[in-house]
Amino acid sequence: MSTPRTNADKSPFLQRKLGDLPTRPGVYLYRDKEENLLYVGKAKVLRNRVKSYFQNKHHDAKTRRLVARIWDVELIVCETELEALVLENNLINAHLPPYNILLRDDKTYPYVKLTREPFPKVFVTRKVRKDKAWYFGPFFPASTAYRTAELVQRFFQLRDCDIEIDGKRARACLKHQLHLCTAPCIGAVSQEAYAEQTKEARLFLEGKRDELKARLEAAMWKAAEAAAFEQAAQHRDALQQLDQWFSKQKAASADQEDTDVYGAAVLDGRACVHRLVMREGKIMGRNEYLFEEVETVDGPFLSQVLQRVYGKEAVPGRIILEADPEDPELLREWMGGMRGAKPTLLIPKQGQKFDLLAMAQENARLALERKFEPQRLNEAVLEGLQAFLGLVRLPRRIECFDISHGQGREVVASMVSFKEGVPDKQGYRRFKMSVQQNDDFFNMREAVFRRYKRIQEEGGDFPDLVLIDGGLGQLHAAEDALRELGLENLERASLAKKEELVFRPNSSEPLRIPKSSPVLQLLQRIRDEAHRFAITYHRKLRAARTLQTELTAIPGVGEATAKKLLQAFGSALKVRIATEAALVQVVGKAAALKVLAWQQGQAPAPTE
């Protein structure tokens, strides 16, 4: 844990600024020694808030680390605290400082997108862009989004294609015949009529049932009066389908006030805030926001969450919370400026709204368990491995080596990396041995030496445990490499396949782990992955050598030409049956004639 520096450890610029802080509202920006922005905050009285960081000795761990890095502070004085709040949000959204609370949605839920163009289209997307389109969602489960987009097409016949609408196409696609699109691509619908379809689709996606029904009923009677009976029947069918659809939606609230419900849970220093989005009394969506290094969900924390959410999204009329946010009236005034009226902040103690809050809290708890319980289980296994091997620290990162070859040919080594008990494939490495020989000890020594010499040269991080596939001999070979590099203190062990025995340095007696133990299963999983990675590379090299050797046996064909032939035709057999024209196109006339002579020779045809 970092220890906060005293004021004497700070820069002289910061010392002077701390002694001359204004007493007005404003925003403060903390920077580190490299002038990187660390944190942005607002204050009613800048002097009191900024000094509290350096005088208070009871900060949480995250704030202590922030204070330890502060080298300079910038101040922006404002006329009012509301002005400071607006500026704080703008700066946070623009710069994303690492010590501010930043929203990170646990999942990328899909949205239904309705574009803004002369003939809008509707489709499902997981990316929300600033393109002035309408986005509805997020939907959960994801299948609901696709079902909703399908209903929009069925009810309102909006297109989902990327065709340029110029009215010049001769024929419409099958969706027009299935009454899933009014075919603006062939000019079958006017822009004004299509705009009405789009408006009705928006009402449906916004959950505005009554307004949509009124529009459809009016359109139905108007079409009937104009003797457009087919069109009237379409409106009638849409009304019936809409009634069926809306009747399936769970009404979570008797009133129609747009409401967001925030429930939170904390587990092992991590927090999840679950937001239920209710519109016209129905739950229309949710978000889950995950946060690291949170000890408790208190007023300042909730205040920052609301600022981050409503700095980007529309403010509802009512917000249900489990505790009072910091400066609630200031927050209401800020949100009211965007909404046109101040929202209600409600902390229910009983009744239906309390039940909604409990639902959000339960979802937050389940989200944390779903996200982090596997990690906690992995950590328990790693703790068991640490105890069993007598390691100094928890083996959060393990690197495992294996050798693969075929009778001393295509000798390769693999190194796989596991972090927190799961594969880290970006950390995988493979080695082609400099000396092709059937000597596992020599090859293991070379692979380990090359890996950690490079880390030394590049200043990388060493693993918590080096695992070797093999017995005591392979482990000694790895130790020789580490000793030459001056890395004798690097923790190491080997796992022998035959009886699944574990060898450790300075011990000739192996360790036995019960076969049912998750600790042994983890070691086996890592070892087996290293073996898979090594043998895959070996087979690739062997296949390339086998195929290329057959072609380089052709008189006058060298490695470069053989490589071109393999890349073009895929195998020696296909080269055998290639036409003269195809050969000339790949390797030219002279080389093609040599291959043709080989084709017509008496040598047996190669196999795939």
**Which CATH number belongs to the domain containing residue 527 in this structure?**
3.30.420.340
- Residue 413 and residue 490 in one domain: yes
Domains: count for the chain: 5
Give the pLDDT score at 481: 95
Give the pLDDT score at 420: 86
Give the pLDDT score at 548: 56
Instruction: With beta carbons less than 8 A apart as the criterion, state whether 274 and 288 touch.
Output: yes
Kindly state the DSSP code that residue 607 receives in the 8-state scheme: P
Mean local confidence (pLDDT), 536-563? 75
Nearest to residue 534, comparing CAs of 398, 442, 451, 410? 410
- Residue 434 and residue 314 in one domain: no
Residue 575 pLDDT > 80: yes
Give the pLDDT score at 15: 77
Mean local confidence (pLDDT), 479-490? 93
Higher pLDDT, 73 or 147: 73
What are the CA-CA distances from residue 28 to residues 17, 132, 594 (Å)? 12, 33, 78
What are the CA-CA distances from residue 536 to residues 231, 541, 594 (Å)? 63, 9, 34
Q: How many helices (H) and strands (E) does the chain have?
A: 19, 19
Give the pLDDT score at 137: 67
pLDDT over 70 percentage in the chain: 86
- Residue 126 and residue 208 in one domain: yes
Give the pLDDT score at 245: 56
Quote the CA–CA distance of 118 and 131 in Å, as a whole number: 15
Identify any residues that bridge with 251 across adjacent strands, giving them in sequence order.
282
Q: What is the b/e burial string over 526-550, where b = at least 16 CB atoms within 10 angstroms of the residue's CB?
A: bbbbbbebbbebbeebbeeeebbeb
Residue 372 pLDDT > 80: no
- Residue 301 counted as domain residue: yes
- Residue 342 and residue 404 in one domain: no
Residue 400 pLDDT > 90: yes
Q: What is the largest CA-CA distance in the chain?
A: 98
- Residue 129 and residue 214 in one domain: yes
DSSP per residue over 37-68, as a string? EEEEEEESSHHHHHHHHHH-S---HHHHHHHH
What is the enclosing helix (H) or strand (E) of 166? none
Position 200 confidence tier, pLDDT thresholds 50, 70, 90: confident
Give the pLDDT score at 603: 46
Quote the CA–CA distance of 557 and 593 in Å, as a whole number: 11
Nearest to residue 305, comparing CAs of 261, 366, 267? 261
Residue 480 pLDDT > 90: yes
Q: Which domain holds residue 595?
A: 553-599
- Residue 242 and residue 264 in one domain: no
Q: Is the pTM of this model over 0.75?
A: no
Determine the distance from the C-alpha atom of residue 96 to the mean position of all C-alpha atoms in its chain, rounded to a whole number. 17
Domain boundary among 248, 271, 287: 248
- Residue 58 and residue 11 in one domain: yes
Cα atoms in the 13 Å half-sphere on the side-chain side of 132: 3
Structure tokens at 355: 């039940």
Identify any residues that bridge with 41 across adjacent strands, giving them in sequence order.
28
Position 362 confidence tier, pLDDT thresholds 50, 70, 90: confident
pLDDT tens, position by position, 70-129: 988 888 888 788 878 878 877 887 788 888 877 665 455 678 899 999 999 999 888 777
Identify any residues that bridge with 285 across adjacent strands, giving them in sequence order.
277
Give the pLDDT score at 303: 92
Higher pLDDT, 7 or 523: 523
pLDDT tens, position by position, 323-339: 999 989 999 999 988 88
- Residue 195 counted as domain residue: yes
3-state secondary structure of 328: helix
- Residue 35 and residue 82 in one domain: yes
- Residue 307 counted as domain residue: yes
Position 209 confidence tier, pLDDT thresholds 50, 70, 90: low
- Residue 62 and residue 192 in one domain: no
Position 262 confidence tier, pLDDT thresholds 50, 70, 90: very high
- Residue 159 counted as domain residue: yes
**Which CATH number belongs to the domain containing residue 334 in this structure?**
3.30.420.10
Quote the CA–CA distance of 347 and 320 in Å, as a whole number: 6
Residue 544 pLDDT > 70: no
Structure tokens at 144: 């609901």
Position 462 confidence tier, pLDDT thresholds 50, 70, 90: very high
- Residue 382 counted as domain residue: no
- Residue 253 counted as domain residue: no
Nearest to residue 269, comparing CAs of 66, 58, 62? 62
pLDDT tens, position by position, 270-284: 889 989 888 776 666
- Residue 433 counted as domain residue: yes
- Residue 34 and residue 129 in one domain: no
Residue 251 pLDDT > 60: no
**Which CATH number belongs to the domain containing residue 567 in this structure?**
1.10.150.20
- Residue 230 and residue 281 in one domain: no
Domain boundary among 370, 405, 439: 370
**What's the mean pLDDT when you consider all of the chain?**
82
Instruction: With beta carbons less than 8 A apart as the criterion, state whether 310 and 338 touch.
Output: yes
**Which CATH number belongs to the domain containing residue 39 in this structure?**
3.40.1440.10
Quote the CA–CA distance of 113 and 123 in Å, as a whole number: 5
Give the pLDDT score at 139: 65
pLDDT tens, position by position, 6-33: 443 556 667 777 887 888 888 899 998 8
Mean local confidence (pLDDT), 555-583? 83
pLDDT over 90 percentage in the chain: 22
- Residue 430 and residue 499 in one domain: yes
Q: Of 2-11, 473-482, 560-569, which gets the smallest average pLDDT?
A: 2-11
Residue 570 pLDDT > 50: yes
Give the pLDDT score at 343: 93
Mean local confidence (pLDDT), 431-454? 89
- Residue 606 counted as domain residue: no
